[in-house]
Structure 1
Amino acid sequence: MNLEIEEIKQLRIAYIRKIGPYGEENYTTMKKIKTWAKDNNLFNDDLIILGIAEDNPAVTKPEECRYDTCAIIAEDYHVNDNAVSEGRIVGGRYAVFKVEHTAEAVQKAWSCIFEEISNHGCNMDGTRPIIERYKVGMVNSGYCEICVPIV
């Protein structure tokens, strides 16, 4: 698996939060942010959508787990939708894995990314969430990325 180290800057986001067990409903939330982006003329090959599991299901009850689907927005963009919140992603160093955009490939990646990070002499930064990054142009080519914060 290919790992690249990237410095991700602080990002401004528009997001929709789902609270409950991770799984199929995450896809529904992802569709909602895509629809919102299309309705607001933001959906193009440059759009970057993020999926962020805010909680570790090993220590957080499934019904309390938060999942945010986000669209990166410009600093001067104003969100005019009560169902969509505004926020920021903290920047920093990330181990970035390019993965085929299939359920099987993503699941396989999740099973080995932490070992790969360790093999590269890096340590995960538990103060920042892991980010699934979907660049529209990259997704159209069949890929997505998993970005793990590192120190």
Structure 2
Amino acid sequence: MIIIGKKSLYLEQLRPFRMAFVRHTGPYGPSNMQTMEKLKQWAKQKELLKEDAILYGIPQDDPRVTMPEHCRYDACIVISDDFHFEQEPGLDINLGKSPGGNYLTITIPHTTEGIQRAWNEMISQLHLYGYSMNNTKPVIERYRLSLLNQHLCEFFIPVTTY
């Protein structure tokens, strides 16, 4: 465990998981929330949005190097290996699998400011603790109902050690 300010970072081995997702291409911002809502509506219809559901928000591109109109954001829900998926006309629901890997994980306020602060403070200090960001994988946000009820989410920073 690493303490930065009053926050604790934990190293977590994220196992690969099967997911259904909706992708938005364009500037990050309010459209990310709309993309997540679209996924949640579909998941609710499929009876996937239960107490133990795990959702991820995955910005695929760094807006400092990718033009805003080309930035990709995936809103994802973990699905079981036996979930039968059929593409439905008119719905942009996709199927995929996460690569998994080592992540430093921190619980943060589920706000734009909380996420921005995590980017600014946590990532810039990784090297102090013997880690560097693994730029082959995206930073991700994990949402679980138990945390959302407290207005929190988890921020995952992909890392490698020196």
Q: What TM-score, normalized by structure 1, do the two folds share?
A: 0.94
Work out the CA distance in 1 between the residues paired with 2:130 and 2:72: 30
Q: Does 1:57 align with 2:68?
A: no
Percent identity of paired positions between Structure 1 and Structure 2: 38
Instruction: State how 1:9-28 maps to structure 2 within 5 Å.
Output: 9-28=15-34
Conservation of the 8 A alpha-carbon contact between 1:49 and 1:136 = no
Displacement, 1:105?
Answer: 2.0
Query: Which residue in the other structure is 1:33 paired with?
Result: 39
TM-superposition CA deviations, 1:38-63 (whole Å, max 9, x none): 11101112111101111111111111
Instruction: Give unmatched runs, 5+ long, in structure 2.
Output: 1-6
Counterparts of 2:106 and 2:84, CA distance in 1: 31
Report how many residues are paired: 151
Distance in 1 (alpha carbons) for counterparts of 2:111 and 2:101: 27
- The structure whose Rg is larger is 2
Deviation sequence 1:7-58 (CA, Å, 0-9, x none): 0000111000000111111110011111111111011121111011111111
Q: Equivalent residue of 1:2, what SS?
A: strand
Match of 1:149 in 2: 158
Distance 1:41 1:55 in 2: 31
Residue 42 of structure 2 aligns with an amino acid whose one-letter code is W
Aligned positions of 1:31-110 closer than 5 A: 31-82=37-88, 83-110=92-119
Aligned equivalents of 1:43, 1:117: Cα separation in 2: 34
Greater mean deviation of Cα atoms: 129-138 or 113-122: 113-122
Q: 1:116, 1:72 → 2: CA distance?
A: 30
Of 130, 149, 156, 1:140 maps to: 149
Provide, for residues 59-114 of structure 1, a one-character-per-residue CA deviation record: whole Å limited to 9, x for no partner: 11111111100001101112234321000110111000110122222222221111
C-alpha separation between the residues in 1 aligned to 2:69 and 2:48?
Answer: 32
Aligned partner of 1:5 in structure 2 is 11
1:24 alignment partner AA: P
- RMSD of aligned C-alpha atoms? 1.2
Please name the residue that 1:112 is paired with.
Answer: 121
